[in-house]
Amino acid sequence: MPSAAMLEKTAELMHEGLLKNHQKSKDKKYKVGYDDLKIKRVKGGYGGGTIDRKSWYYAIYFPGNWLGDTHVELGMYFLRMKAEQYKLRQKFTTADPMFMPLVKQHYENHISNQMPVSESALNKNIMCTILGTRLDYALPWAEAEHVYMPLNTGNHWILLVLDIGKKCIRVYDSIVRREQTNIHLHHYLPSMQMYLPRLMDKLGVYNERTEGPIRDDFLQIHMVKECPQQNDSDSCGMFVLKMAEYLMMGKDVEYVRPEDINAYRSKMTTELL
């Protein structure tokens, strides 16, 4: 946990040069000369790039802002890195936000163009994700107990947790009113339940495991009922990252509280900086 002094330093940095109308401005958040970070560049372990603009961190730090794919991707990278640093007991890995949309795309090609599963399994991003060679601090799925998969459904973030041993996916959704979860997931269910297992079998996830391959069976979907609920329309990405962090540490997600989300934003920004 960052110290109070570190959190205060982050607050000063993020407010320095902030435009008065920053909340109304879509792109420009800082005065000229204040957006460029005058510190060592942050290396994004999700893709080897650099992040040297405060406006990128703005969406994480300030309430009322939606997290984009790169925010969640880097957040997951940081969780993998911390897990190795602190030697967490749970054997887990993660997928990036584009993984399930890519699996869905290949499933649709399989249905419409009869593209074989074996061809999808050779896709570099799919194959390297499942074999654990695409992301820093990642494990091969064959060696993991759980795979944490953030899913951006277009206007909402959901956390999918693949349980390798139990052959199921648990769904953590911070907005479950009016059957919203089913609506969010509807277009992904066939690829999640039927196509992902075929890819896992093709890439040997169960070859050395006692559970054996999935074959013609499918992954069960379990909607987690006791899931913390957001009280706004923008914090779903933060909920996904915080729920993943708690689960990785073996904690219950009930301790992720909406009233703490702003503190989580400050903590995450400080840790990433």
- pLDDT, one tens digit per residue, over 121-172 is 999 999 999 999 999 899 999 999 999 999 999 889 999 999 999 999 999 9
Tokens 């890195």: give the residue. Answer: 81
Strand order in the sheet with 146-152: 92-94, 146-152, 157-163, 168-172, 220-223
Give the mean pLDDT of 262-270. 93
Q: What is the pLDDT of residue 41?
A: 45
When pLDDT is averaged across residues 253-269 and rounded to a whole number, the result is 92
Report the DSSP beta bridge partners of residue 162. 147, 169
Determine contact, residues 96/76, Cβ cutoff 8 Å. yes
Q: Quick one: pLDDT at residue 39? A: 57
pLDDT in the model for residue 49: 55
pLDDT-above-90 percentage for the chain: 68
Q: Are 142 and 206 in contact (CB under 8 A)?
A: yes
- What are the residue ranges spanned by the domains of the chain? 4-272
- What pLDDT score does 200 carry? 97
pLDDT tens figures, 4-44: 999 999 999 999 999 988 877 777 888 888 888 865 444 44
Mean pLDDT of 173-196: 83
Q: What is the pLDDT of residue 226?
A: 86
| 185 pLDDT more than 90 | no
- How far CA 194 is from CA of 33, 167, 197, in Å, comes to 51, 12, 6
Helices then strands, counting H and E runs in the chain, come out as: 11, 7
Residue 204 CA to residue 213 CA, distance in Å, equals 8
User: How far is residue 109's CA from residue 113's CA, in Å, rounded to a whole number?
Assistant: 5
**Average pLDDT taken over every residue of the chain:** 90
> Roughly what angle, to the nearest 10 degrees, separates helices 261-272 and 4-15?
90
- 47-51, 73-77, 194-198, 201-205: segment of lowest average pLDDT: 47-51
Mean pLDDT of 102-117: 94
Note the CATH number of domain 4-272.
3.40.395.10
**Most confident by average pLDDT, 53-57, 165-169, 176-180, 208-212:** 165-169
Cα–Cα distance for residue pair 108/199, rounded to 1 Å: 14
Q: Which DSSP helix (H) or strand (E) runs through 196?
A: helix 196-202
Whole-structure pTM value: 0.91
Considering only 22-36, 51-65, 233-247, which range has the smallest mean pLDDT?
22-36
